[in-house]
Structure 1
């Protein structure tokens, strides 16, 4: 624990107070978070839409501009991980439990319960459901992660700075980046990370409970979720103690194999042709309406505004709250990549995988609903996946595979979270101590349990939106700092090239 900084102690104290209040006064805690969430979504919805779209624009610019040739590291640095393993780690850390949790539930909800355009149960509602699901899980989400991760990787590996959020702000803050103001920024990043990861752990516990309840009649209760979280905590702490190169790398590859197996089974056993047609059609709608969806806020329609607050604003807040965790992790595993390669793969590879996932699982659920085979929309969010799988051959075996996948995503997210939090509270150490990772693992577990105890899924969503707002201002500063530093380096490299050309002797044309 000698490496720990004041960021650790201040953050830990704040989070312990958070846990105590949640245990002692759960109803008051839930009321406060709900009221704060309502204020933020109604007041700052426009702000979330604008900044996240701006992050997309910045990433696209960096991907196609000349600075894309700059390497995240020294000229001789090589990537630490193979490209397939690297993509698997990006996907597992950045998507995790949420993809399995919402893979069936979100499209079926948009189609049958509450459409983004107000029309449910129609052919148009099918297209709208998939289009907006792609929108929520696609390029916008990964632009947030990519911008934070790129900024961290660039300043860590190109300039030799510690892996801290505050260290990326030196070009605009100067000496203040290492002072009290910088420490405050790192504390905000730690708190956002803890809330983001804990929320995902809560989702995972709820869905595992939902699956076991659907299959075996296990009670859907806080006690069941408590037991699930404790069991998984022991597993992810064991993985965390084995180190980055063993635990997270191996689990990320296992994740991709299991996810691929489950995806293939549902694709083959489900409405294959319908899925292919739906995927092709709605990808087109997603691209066609990309800009319109990016700024859609429904200022004159209260019903649609409620949908936007519940879904789009929640997701944008989730990605922002997760971004310090995912950003630091993908930065840590991306040394040796160029900026262009980093942005292209971070934006496109996980997005395409997510689109395919939602087309297969969401499309299968919608097909079952439309044919009257199974009323998936009547099930709870956490049971919708298992309700869909129950209509397939070998339903029990496939459902157990899904539960195993959720559990491993759970372990991977928590494992990555303890590693990143260890880095953030030890001045950017790339190998934080095992004791520190255990402490952060226990705090993540405690926060997830408190959120479930005080208000279940709604408390998880409320707290996520509240935690995201302060860190969104930090991402804006990171973007400005990164662009300023890249512009300076680009100009410097251009001057060096001109100087080298002038020093070369003239070519003898004879």
Structure 2
């Protein structure tokens, strides 16, 4: 990438488009299949199986558990897209519908951030959680298949691809997150902070994340996760109570109802619910590939913190609780943004920039500066929880699958992630005509493809395991 930047970018772009064109609908069907399979398992007799011994109590309270899984699973993305995505969907409806553009916009946003996204995470979480807490395997994706596929080369390949995908996912997240933070600082201070500020932000985030991962799950990661959720709720409630609360609640209920009713045709892009290949490629296929790319690390982290919970508790908790929270979040910000556009009379793409839309939105509210500064703090904190949980999981991978990896591994991974991110940001700055962060996102689409097939194999062996064990009474 240093010596043949443009050629590298073109190769990645071509490969990612090939994956999305030829396997896009496969991603779509896989997402729907994951939701269906997990609901069937959750409500079957297998849902009673506990991840651990029968008398094992949950290691974390429900509040701590939800805070950690939500911070690791979504994080800064909900701030990045809070206003920009619902407004884009309102201005560019995905398909012709009898619903209002506002309801359809929220419904489709729910679809892309809802149960299907969490189903990818939940599938990895339950399979790895079973291997970890019931079969007493080491913390590695290959541990889920080693009883059936013992070939060392296959097992190592699975683990290496997992590590590579996680690293690229993390670099993309830090790069996007720091770019948005930089955009927020420029907006708040009416300044033009450049690449130096972005690099300083990377160093700051990686250093704090390293400290958090060093402290472990109970001290560092749990504290930052709870802090994130509290600050997020404060911002959410402030916007909710200073906007049209009745209209927001009606929008939330209406869009959620239609999301549930239309879930099957939207998930399979059937008939009138098919937005077309171009729209799906730009949005849904990309999202599904992105969630899938993050699924191994997020799923393993959720599995790590879910000891003592039943399969039913894990699956329904992962599928439903974060989804409802996300739906309400987008209803508050989306509906409020729609009302602002209606008040303005005309819309000149004020919310079109994904990196600055949330800050432009806050400018329309009381205490705009406080909201913007708080959001910048929250973006930093969300990035820290994504990085520290990923560093912790990567350390588990490379420290022979240990549940509490050596602290040296945590430091090495933190330093490596920081250097890799800085290298990519510098590269993007030197070659102004190439967006390297976009290239990393496209790379995720390529690296997630093996997991799209592997997830089927992994889940099949999981079902075989729980059926064979006969541990349910």
TM-score, normalization: structure 2? 0.93
CA distance in 2 between partners of 1:487 and 1:124 (Å):
47
For the pair 1:272 / 2:245, whether they are aligned, the reply is yes
CA distance in 2 between partners of 1:373 and 1:73 (Å):
58
CA distance in 2 between partners of 1:461 and 1:27 (Å):
16
Task: Say whether the 8 Å CA contact 1:153–1:335 is kept in structure 2.
Answer: yes
TM-aligned CA deviation for residue 273 of structure 1: 2.0
CA distance in 2 between partners of 1:118 and 1:231 (Å):
46
For the pair 1:90 / 2:69, whether they are aligned, the reply is yes
Task: Say whether the 8 Å CA contact 1:46–1:297 is kept in structure 2.
Answer: no
Runs of 5+ unmatched residues, structure 2 = 429-433
CA distance in 2 between partners of 1:38 and 1:215 (Å):
37
Q: 2:44 aligns with which of 59, 65, 71?
A: 65
Correspondence for 1:128: 104
TM-aligned CA deviation for residue 26 of structure 1: 2.9
Q: 1:115 aligns with which of 84, 89, 93?
A: 93
Do the aligned partners of residues 457 and 105 (structure 1) sit closer, same or farther apart at CA in structure 2, a change above 3 Å counting? farther
Correspondence for 2:148: 172
CA distance in 2 between partners of 1:268 and 1:456 (Å):
40
Correspondence for 2:127: 151
Correspondence for 2:454: 474
Do the aligned partners of residues 89 and 163 (structure 1) sit closer, same or farther apart at CA in structure 2, a change above 3 Å counting? same
Q: 2:324 aligns with which of 339, 343, 352?
A: 352
For the pair 1:337 / 2:309, whether they are aligned, the reply is yes
Task: Say whether the 8 Å CA contact 1:215–1:396 is kept in structure 2.
Answer: yes
CA distance in 2 between partners of 1:126 and 1:235 (Å):
40
Deviations 1:33-66 (A, max 9, x none): 1111111111111110111111111100111000
3-state SS, counterpart of residue 378 of structure 1: coil
Correspondence for 1:15: none
CA distance in 1 between partners of 2:53 and 2:264 (Å):
37
TM-aligned CA deviation for residue 281 of structure 1: 0.9
Task: Say whether the 8 Å CA contact 2:146–2:155 is kept in structure 1.
Answer: no
Q: 1:284 aligns with which of 242, 257, 281?
A: 257
3-state SS, counterpart of residue 77 of structure 1: coil
Deviations 1:212-232 (A, max 9, x none): 121113336544422321222
Do the aligned partners of residues 118 and 40 (structure 1) sit closer, same or farther apart at CA in structure 2, a change above 3 Å counting? farther
CA distance in 2 between partners of 1:373 and 1:233 (Å):
44
Correspondence for 2:354: 381
TM-aligned CA deviation for residue 467 of structure 1: 1.8
TM-score, normalization: structure 1? 0.87
TM-aligned CA deviation for residue 154 of structure 1: 0.5
Correspondence for 2:115: 139
Task: Say whether the 8 Å CA contact 1:374–1:388 is kept in structure 2.
Answer: no
Runs of 5+ unmatched residues, structure 1 = 1-20, 498-510
TM-aligned CA deviation for residue 449 of structure 1: 3.9
Q: 1:233 aligns with which of 192, 202, 206?
A: 206
Deviations 1:309-353 (A, max 9, x none): 111011100111001110110000000100111111011111111
3-state SS, counterpart of residue 337 of structure 1: coil
Q: 1:187 aligns with which of 141, 150, 160?
A: 160
Count of residue pairs brought into register by the alignment: 465
For the pair 1:245 / 2:221, whether they are aligned, the reply is no
Correspondence for 1:362: 334
Structure 1 stretch displaced more, 127-136 or 209-218: 209-218
Task: Say whether the 8 Å CA contact 1:148–1:328 is kept in structure 2.
Answer: yes
Do the aligned partners of residues 488 and 300 (structure 1) sit closer, same or farther apart at CA in structure 2, a change above 3 Å counting? closer
CA distance in 2 between partners of 1:46 and 1:261 (Å):
39
For the pair 1:416 / 2:395, whether they are aligned, the reply is no
Task: Say whether the 8 Å CA contact 1:145–1:323 is kept in structure 2.
Answer: yes
Greater Rg over alpha carbons, structure: 1
Correspondence for 1:30: 9
